């Protein structure tokens, strides 16, 4: 058994090596006469800053250099390499990476700077069949920015959900095979590393404090206030993350099949792997005058899902359903940070409407239900989430005004995000907006109401 595990781990390391070597030394797996041609390339530099609306502090100051390049080796072979380099000196930070598998961690990382290989893959395609090997994402879902069935990949949450693109997926090393058979679209994916969703570091602006995310543990339990600095929190509260590896127990595998149905498309999927969000456990016994040591456990679960989307004129309707029979949960019990499993059902419906006069309306409603079976949950048994976005474009879509509402209907909290984006030229883009969060300080959104901010960004594309 040990030899099998050793062989599997070496296979994962070899997968990464093959992906990179294939891109730069393509003759190893490509035809001898293959030529590497740059199909497309993009390099962009962005500076984004944000000022806290309550105290005027500079909560966000981040420089991002990103690149995306696609290569063509032959009529059947292609490749992709994306990089992400960031520099930050603010209260938001760059997020934790200790829950990333070793092969997926940044190339360079310290408290204020980070360089990551965001994507690296080679693809073989022939007619309706394709195989992708390398660091990639598997976006399974049809709703816009809200996760029901779209739970295969981990996501970044260092900025909570206050990002331009949502969800912001994290690529993992793996293999994906897609084909078409008699009108059926078959999609299989295997992620070979155990990286999970990225959260903010302790003490950062979007470090989770709501008891629904902390297994019922409050800051009062660790003798610190909500405004305590990072070092004060660390002296009283310690997070222990078990190593995320490339073992079979940390891999994610899934199958999705899709077919046309009437005027729309329907898909069915199943995948199994570690939940990208942790359940908390007590790492060691509580001791007087010692920090509470909490373990972030990423337990395996199975997701069954179905989607349907249909276009009717200027309107697109979307529907998703997910069933998780073995959802890992934190519960309130006689021992602190107790864990259990329960059945979870998520349903979501969404609508996109391209209205007259260059208006675009998007709205979504999701119900997230857990069958508690006499369990005392740390979150509501039923969550109802609502998103509503309205935007209008001017000057041939060079100027866009938009406003977005993200809300937890049952808890009465949320975020309102008015913003504008202006394409000054083909290379320069200006954006600005407000992220205003409201609600109870222990709510899903209200926990961050003191982090409400005005932000602005400048992007130059080379």
Query: Given a cut of 60, is residue 281 above it in pLDDT?
Result: yes
How much is the pLDDT for 15?
A: 47
Q: Which residue has the higher pLDDT, 28 or 208?
A: 208
Q: Which residue has the higher pLDDT, 123 or 166?
A: 123
Of 147-151, 293-297, 426-430, the least confident: 293-297
**Residue 310 CA, distance from chain mean position:** 25
Most confidently modeled of 237-251, 298-312, 328-342?
298-312
What dotted CATH number matches 2-461? 2.40.160.10
Q: What is the rounded CA–CA span in Å between residue 453 and residue 418?
A: 11
Strand stretches in 332-411, DSSP E: 338-355, 359-371, 382-394, 399-408
Pairing of strands 399-408, 264-274: unpaired
How much is the pLDDT for 9?
A: 47
How much is the pLDDT for 27?
A: 40
pLDDT tens-digit map of 250-271: 999 999 999 999 999 999 999 9
What token pair was written down for 447?
């926990």
The stretch 225-234 carries a mean pLDDT of: 51
Query: Could you give the maximum distance between any two Cα atoms of the chain, in Å?
Result: 70
**Residue 261 CA, distance from chain mean position:** 30
Q: What is the rounded CA–CA span in Å between residue 378 and residue 53?
A: 30
Q: What is the rounded CA–CA span in Å between residue 166 and residue 183?
A: 31
Q: How far apart are the first and last CA of the chain?
A: 51
For the chain, the 3-state helix, strand and coil shares in percent, each to the nearest 5, are: 10, 50, 35
Q: What is the rounded CA–CA span in Å between residue 155 and residue 160?
A: 10
| Nearest CA-CA partner of 252 in 276, 279, 278, 274 | 274
Q: What is the rounded CA–CA span in Å between residue 405 and residue 407?
A: 6
Strand stretches in 154-197, DSSP E: 172-181, 184-191
Q: Which residue has the higher pLDDT, 214 or 367?
A: 367
pLDDT tens-digit map of 163-222: 998 899 999 999 999 999 999 999 999 999 899 999 999 889 999 989 999 888 776 665
* pLDDT-above-70 percentage for the chain: 87
Residue 334 class from Cβ within 10 Å (0-12 exposed, 13-18 middle, 19+ buried)? exposed
pLDDT tens-digit map of 418-454: 999 999 999 999 999 999 999 999 999 999 999 999 9
Strand partners, 181: 184
Q: Which residue has the higher pLDDT, 152 or 282?
A: 152
Spatial contact of 206 and 451, defined as CB atoms under 8 Å apart: yes
pLDDT tens-digit map of 315-346: 999 999 999 999 999 999 888 889 999 999 99
Q: What is the rounded CA–CA span in Å between residue 190 and residue 176?
A: 6
Q: Cα angle vertex 96, ends 79, 378, to 5°?
A: 115
Query: Given a cut of 70, is residue 21 above it in pLDDT?
Result: no
pLDDT range class, residue 23, cuts 50, 70, 90:
very low
């Amino acid at each position: 058994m040990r030899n099998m595990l050793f062989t599997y781990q070496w296979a994962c390391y070899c997968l990464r090596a093959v992906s990179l070597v294939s891109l730069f030394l393509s003759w190893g797996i490509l035809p001898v006469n293959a030529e590497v041609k740059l199909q497309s390339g993009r390099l962009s530099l962005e500076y984004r800053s944000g000022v806290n609306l309550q105290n005027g502090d500079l909560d966000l100051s981040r420089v991002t250099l990103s690149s995306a390049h696609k290569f063509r080796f032959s009529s059947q072979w292609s490749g992709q390499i994306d990089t992400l380099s960031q520099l930050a000196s603010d209260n938001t930070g760059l997020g934790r990476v200790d829950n990333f598998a070793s092969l997926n961690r940044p190339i360079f990382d310290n408290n204020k700077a980070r360089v990551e290989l965001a994507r690296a893959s080679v693809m073989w395609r022939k007619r309706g069949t394709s195989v992708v090997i390398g660091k990639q994402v598997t976006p399974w879902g049809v709703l816009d920015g809200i996760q029901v069935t779209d739970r295969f990949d981990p996501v970044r949450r260092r900025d909570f959900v206050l990002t331009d693109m949502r969800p912001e997926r994290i690529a993992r090393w793996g293999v994906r095979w897609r084909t078409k058979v008699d009108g059926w679209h078959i999609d299989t994916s295997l992620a070979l590393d155990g990286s999970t969703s990225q959260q903010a570091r302790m003490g950062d602006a979007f470090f989770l404090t709501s008891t629904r995310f902390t297994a019922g543990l409050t800051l009062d339990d660790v003798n610190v206030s909500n405004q305590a600095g990072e070092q004060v929190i660390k002296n009283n509260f310690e997070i222990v993350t078990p190593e995320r590896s490339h073992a079979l127990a940390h891999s994610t595998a899934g199958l999705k099949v899709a077919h046309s149905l009437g005027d729309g498309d329907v898909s069915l999927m199943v995948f199994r792997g570690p939940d990208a969000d942790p359940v908390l456990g007590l790492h060691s016994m509580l001791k007087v005058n010692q920090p509470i040591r909490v373990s972030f456990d990423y337990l395996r679960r199975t997701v069954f899902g179905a989607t349907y989307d249909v276009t009717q004129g200027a309107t697109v309707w979307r529907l998703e359903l997910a069933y998780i029979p073995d959802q890992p949960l934190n519960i309130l019990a006689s021992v602190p940070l107790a864990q259990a499993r329960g059945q979870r059902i998520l349903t979501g419906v969404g609508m996109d409407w391209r209205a007259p006069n260059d208006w675009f309306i998007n709205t979504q409603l999701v119900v997230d239900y857990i069958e508690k079976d006499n369990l005392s949950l740390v979150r509501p048994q039923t969550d109802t989430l609502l998103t509503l976005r309205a935007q209008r474009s001017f000057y041939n879509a060079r100027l866009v005004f938009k406003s977005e509402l993200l809300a937890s209907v049952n808890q009465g909290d949320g975020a309102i995000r008015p913003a504008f984006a202006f394409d000054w030229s083909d290379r320069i883009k200006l954006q600005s907006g407000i992220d205003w969060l409201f609600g109870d300080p222990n709510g899903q959104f209200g926990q961050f109401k003191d982090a409400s901010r005005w932000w602005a960004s400048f992007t130059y594309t080379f």
